[in-house]
Amino acid sequence: MSLMLKQSLELQSIKNIVALLPYQYHQELTSVLMNHFVQEIRLRPNQSIEVVLAGESFFLRNTLFNEADATFVLNQLSQHSIYAFEEELRHGFLTLRGGHRVGIAGEAVVEKGVVKTIKHIRTFNIRISRALEKVSVPYLQGLYEGRWKTSIIAGPPQSGKTTILRDLAKIMSNGYERLNIPPQKVAIVDERSEIAASFEGTPQHDVGKRTDVLDRCPKAEGMMMLIRSMSPNVIIVDEVGSEADIRAIEEAASAGVAVLCSAHAKSMNDLEARGIISSDTFEGILLLNDKKEGHFVHKKRGKL
């Protein structure tokens, strides 16, 4: 945590975030962002603006977020062009320059049981992102033994899976001399745009010098595309779960490419029940808990 608190936001980053909101909130928000470790800014119709810090939250006094404000925010987010962000609206979030993400909610338009888009968007959750350094170092000895092992990073939401994946990407592609880990070519399939948080194709987080990112691509297809196009040594994917994903990972592994992926899971049993670790491809599992602590389990040696 002490490591996180040191990371303050850059001024430019603050400006970008504040510019999303109507002018009358600029001054107050800027000072809040500069003086607190803000994790989220939440905007809800006819409510005050809520600022969420680590473990606590408060409302900005004398603010009332109305419908006109919501329209303003949406226009700023979409650069006045809803048509350009249809896909993002359907998924319920947009990525900003700087890697921050804005979750949205409103009225879903459903057609044949599938969410087509969201209209009357009134609720926003601006999630401030900060890159954390070296969070994966404690687990490197498990994940790397002369080569990167195909492994799963599992844990509940908010346990730091994506943060660890992002840090691993950087360590893999830059190398880590202290443990004699040489730099390698890394490819990321970033379906939810969460690992590298690309904005118009450019990663907004530092994911390393030798890293190629395929943004917003479905995982199974993306892995195959990257193997063919980028000849990576390691592939990183987020939130695998479907059978097609597992099959693609198996295929990648048989092509000699190590795959590191994350999965939502509370426990080992959870992973087993979903058939993820029954696959022989995985060599290890890094299990995280909601306090962001983890331990590494070797699959072939350790008994599961």
Q: Does 110 bind another protein (CB under 8 A)?
A: no
What single DSSP character describes residue 163?
H
CA 124 to CA 50: how far, in whole Å?
11
Task: Give the residue, chosen from 30, 39, 66, 78, that forms a contact with another protein under the rule CB under 8 A.
Answer: 78
Q: Does 123 bind another protein (CB under 8 A)?
A: no
Q: Does 273 bind another protein (CB under 8 A)?
A: no
Q: Least separation, in Å, of the C-beta of 282 and another protein?
A: 37
**DSSP3 helix / strand / coil % (the chain, rounded to 5):** 35, 30, 40
Q: Least separation, in Å, of the C-beta of 172 and another protein?
A: 32
Contact 282, 148 (CB under 8 A): no
Q: Which stretch binds another protein (CB under 8 A): 77-85, 91-99, 146-154, 222-230?
A: 77-85
Q: With respect to another protein, which residue has the nearer C-beta, 50 or 86? A: 86
Name the one residue in this structure whose structure tokens are 């909601």. Answer: 290
CA 256 to CA 205: how far, in whole Å?
27
Task: Give the residue, chosen from 27, 75, 158, 269, that forms a contact with another protein under the rule CB under 8 A.
Answer: 75
x/- track of binding to another protein for residues 175-214 (CB under 8 A): ----------------------------------------
Task: Give the residue, chosen from 34, 54, 84, 255, that forms a contact with another protein under the rule CB under 8 A.
Answer: 84
Ordered strands of the 151-155 beta sheet: 211-215, 186-190, 234-237, 258-264, 151-155, 284-288, 294-298
Tokens of 68: 């006109």
Alpha helices per DSSP H over 139-273: 140-143, 161-174, 219-230, 243-254, 268-273
Q: With respect to another protein, which residue has the nearer C-beta, 5 or 19? A: 19
Q: Least separation, in Å, of the C-beta of 82 and another protein?
A: 6
Number of residues that bind another protein (CB under 8 A): 14
Residues that bind another protein (CB under 8 A): 19, 71, 75-76, 78-86, 117
